Chains A and B, each alone.
Chain A
Amino acid sequence: MNLSRASSKLKSGLKFVLRRLGFYLMAAWASITLAFLIPRLMPGDPASAMFARFKGQLKPEAMDALRQAFGFSDAPLHQQYLSYLGHVLRGDLGISISHFPASVNTVIGGALFWTLLLAGVSVVLSFGIGTALGVISAWRRDGKLDRFAPPALIFLGAFPYFWLAMLALFLFGFELGWFPLGHAYADHLTPEFSWAFIGSVLKHAILPAVTIVVATLGGWMLSMRNTMISVLGEDYISLAQAKGLLSRRVMWIYAARNALLPNVTGFGMALGFVLSGSLLTEIIFSYPGQGYLLIQAVRSLDYPLIQGLFLTITLAVLGANWLVDIAYAWLDPRTR
């Protein structure tokens, strides 16, 4: 009897996840189409931007030959769209104009790892620490943590991020010399699986990661604390306490699990935006990630690269949200 109930529970959960998957496929198609359309709505065209790189030395004959090499075409939009869809399905995103003759896949591939490492780790850290702090400060209301941490963190988070990061770089990197001025690892090292290399990566990541965490911690903490406080007023919490359950168990398993839902939604969004939002961090700390690629691609009207980056970002947002859906189904049985 128990077994059949468990299996029906699993079935409904699976059905929910599959239903969402269908929705995400639709959303993926929409974003692929938008990635195609949006660059073409921008002012300027890639041919003239390319023209500009040669400061007007390029003669018309050379220009035509180059257009062909870059694969620009004057075909009608729907034809371009169809061939674009075909290429995307095969995983071929074309040749980057600003990094000619490298393919978009190589350009993005080289940068993606560092962005995921830096921004991914710092968002997870920020979410984890912020949520935990929120739980504790709500549990011990009017304690020291509750009185000082939220205003201090909100204060720090209110500064423009680039200012905060520049200041940190100047103070701890330049003046005090505690941390390197930029890059993902020391210039004399080559990527390998050794302590020296991993240590160098860590040391280079500390300053940018800390600035991201400091700038975003306040939001996580505050939203967790507020939901937690309203959950703590519920009857079942009083019942759990009256039954004599361990207060740690009540705090984490009974209250925090239910209060976590809004933060999990936010986490899904934040994870998706990791790829695009790390732009300022990567510029300020000369980090070889993909945030800077996007700005460069937009500046030089590098359509293929813009498309590729849009696609990676939107797919990441969708992927993260799908994971959040699954987490939801586990945290809150009502959603199934």
Chain B
Amino acid sequence: MEFTRAIDPLRSRIALLLCSLAAACEPESRPPDPGVLVITESEQTASYVRNFNPLLGAGRWASNHAIYEPLLIYNVAQSRYEPWLATKYAWSEDGLELSFTTRGGVKWSDGKAFSAKDAAFTFDLLHRFPALDINGVWKFLERVDTPGENQLRFHFKQPFVPGLYYLATQPIVSEHKWRDVEDPVTFSDPDPVGTGPFTEIESFQSQVYQVGKNPNYWQPGKPKLAALRFPAFPANDQTNLALIHGDLDWAGTFVPAIERTFVSRDPENHRYWFPLMQGSVLLYPNHTRAPLDDVRVRKALSQAIDRKKLVQVALFDYSRPADATGLSDAYATYRDPQAVAAGDWVNHDPERAGGLLDSAGIKLADDGLRHLPSGATFELEVNVVAGWSDWVRAAQVICRNLEQIGVKATLRSYDFGAWFQKLQRGDFWLSLGWTEEGPTPYSLYRGLMATETKQPLEEEAATNWHRFASPKADAWLAELERTTDPKRERALYASLQRLFVAEAPALPLFPDVSWGEYNLKRFKGFPSEADPYALLTPNKAPDSLLVLTRLEAKL
């Protein structure tokens, strides 16, 4: 009797405590306010730093995807420029002047009017602070002026047609606000004033931030959303859990076995679209290390690789084996059928690979390994970034494939910094790597074959890590910098592709996947395979502006 009496008050007190705890947490399961779109940030982090400076590309997602806008948007999915802060552009006859007509009636979020002067001021800022000129536009620019209120004119040092992309997609900042900023490089722009659809920072905490509508947006009636919210996730697993749980409306993350894990939980609303419209992933052989300077050896290594298996193991079949041109679907219209047909060295054929190595003097010995003419065994290392699991799996397949033709291959995984330093300085045998992106394959082939990009060993190379240069490619690339004739352009790109396929300077593995998932429960209007008005992925600036101005909240 006494015993139970002593226990009971304690028990009821615990129960009371639990109840009050539960009551305090009641609002927990509350969904976000209507019209608040929940998006994944491009940076995976546990705590945000308030930085909306769009110029260095180091700011928060919203800065160059929603707050600040460019003159034109290059729409990868449609392969065309969309007029944005500028309504049209034109080249002069001699290719030395590029003029833009800026849009009238555009206002900054603080109510002041936007004009061509703001754009000229922005480019002037890049000139005065070279750290901000991350695309190097002042390498080809002479000066910028504004012949009229809505006229912007760029004067070039020499004709450089690919420059259009970098000028057109530069985020534009306001003169009246940035004029007084002492050091725009270290300025964190905590309360941005932009022309974009979302500009008002409604709340900012280390684990989440929210950006509200621009009250003065120039597209009437838009955006049709109340605000954007960005919860912080430190890694893919956490993002995926939230996505599958239905906490995210729009995401751009790698989800393994997506049909089973994500779509099947709510087939009505859970959708994804993974177009192959980014760069490609290539295996880079170091041309400064024999025998990798021998084109027969490079083609042999390529034919040893079973790309079908690789794509299946490394990427859950989200991508496909690359063709020998290295072009992804973003450049489908440039692809030259003759070059593709000639590039049979991307097909899995261990026998031919063996034959090619034999002809290069790298013969199979009794120990089952191939030996160099000098007598040493032919050993290779494949470098990847530790933790990039798709790359690590791909490299595992490559190592196994190479061993099947008697080449000893070891997987080496390094932390990103160490891996990238080795790659840039040419301190590797084989390494996985990406390709340059842009509206045309110009920067891709420049980075793969131009003499200009080939750095000496030990020096940091931004591209051309494999160290290959071709005078023929130089001439064609130089002509591409001048010509605006689409027919001539096409012919030049075809020549570049044929040269690449003949020389095999680097070995294309698979086109990169552009990750994008969405949830139709609360919003509609996402791009998809059926309505590809833009890329779905939120990881591409400034293309997301196209999506943000199209989305609508469901009632």
- A interface list, Cβ under 8 A from B: 42-46, 48-49, 51-59, 61-62, 64-66, 68-69, 95-96, 99-102, 106-107, 110-111, 166, 169-170, 173-174, 177, 180-188, 190-191, 195-196, 198-200, 202-203, 282-284, 286-289, 291-293, 296, 298-301
Contacts and interface: CB of A to CB of B under 8 A. Distances in A.
B421 A56 contact: no
A183 B203 CA distance: 16
B129 A111 contact: no
Contacts of A188: 27, 30, 32-33
B235 A283 contact: yes
12 contacts: A43-B418, A52-B416, A53-B58, A66-B131, A69-B183, A169-B241, A181-B247, A182-B233, A183-B231, A184-B207, A199-B24, A200-B28
A122 B261 CA distance: 33
Given A99-B49, A199-B24, A288-B232, A61 B420 contact: no
Given A59-B134, A102-B51, A187-B208, 8 more contacts: A59-B136, A61-B139, A101-B185, A166-B237, A188-B32, A283-B46, A296-B45, A299-B417
A61 B207 contact: no
Interface string B401-427: 000000000000011111011001000
A106 to B, nearest CB: 7
Nearest to A182: B238
Contacts of A95: 186
Given A43-B418, A101-B188, A69 B131 contact: yes
Contacts, number: 200
B415 A44 contact: yes
Nearest to B23: A199
Given A187-B208, A292-B234, A58 B462 contact: yes
B208 A183 contact: yes
A292 B295 CA distance: 45
A61 B133 contact: yes
A45 B30 CA distance: 46
Contact of A174 (B185, B241, B436): B241
A191 B130 contact: no
Contacts of B135: 57, 59
A185 B28 CA distance: 9
Given A111-B46, A202-B21, A181 B245 contact: yes
B28 A186 contact: yes
Contacts of A289: 46-47
Contact of B130 (A46, A62, A169, A291): A62
A196 B27 contact: yes
Nearest to A189: B27
Interface of B: 21, 23-25, 27-30, 32-33, 45-47, 49-51, 53, 56-58, 129-136, 139, 183, 185-188, 203, 205-208, 229, 231-235, 237-238, 241-242, 244-245, 247, 414-418, 420-421, 424, 434, 436, 447, 460, 462-463
Nearest to B185: A69
A43 B417 contact: yes
Given A48-B460, A182-B242, A293-B47, A100 B56 contact: yes
A199 B188 CA distance: 33
Contacts of A68: 131
B232 A286 contact: yes
Contacts of B415: 43-44, 298-299
A55 B135 CA distance: 11
B133 A62 contact: yes
B268 to A, nearest CB: 20
A206 to B, nearest CB: 9
A51 B131 contact: no
A218 B57 CA distance: 48
A101 B234 CA distance: 20
B238 A48 contact: no
A48 B56 contact: no
A194 to B, nearest CB: 10
Contacts of B206: 110-111, 288
Given A200-B24, A289-B46, A181 B417 contact: no
Contacts of B56: 100
A62 B134 contact: yes
Nearest to B447: A56
A248 to B, nearest CB: 16
Given A43-B421, A51-B424, A188-B30, A56 B235 contact: no
B205 to A, nearest CB: 7
A286 B58 contact: no
Nearest to B424: A48
A282 B46 CA distance: 8
Contact of B416 (A49, A169, A195): A49
A183 B247 contact: no
Contacts of B231: 182-183, 187, 286
Which of A48, A174, A190 has the most chain B CB atoms closer than 10 A to its own CB?
A48
A101 B306 CA distance: 45
Nearest to A190: B203
Nearest to A301: B417
A203 B47 contact: no
B191 to A, nearest CB: 15
B232 A65 contact: no
Which of B23, B130, B205, B234 has the most chain A CB atoms closer than 10 A to its own CB?
B234
Contacts of A185: 207
Given A48-B417, A299-B417, A196 B24 contact: yes
Contacts of A44: 415, 417-418, 420-421
A197 to B, nearest CB: 9
A102 to B, nearest CB: 4
Contact of B24 (A52, A195, A283): A195
B130 A65 contact: yes
Contacts of A287: 46
Contacts of A102: 49-51, 188
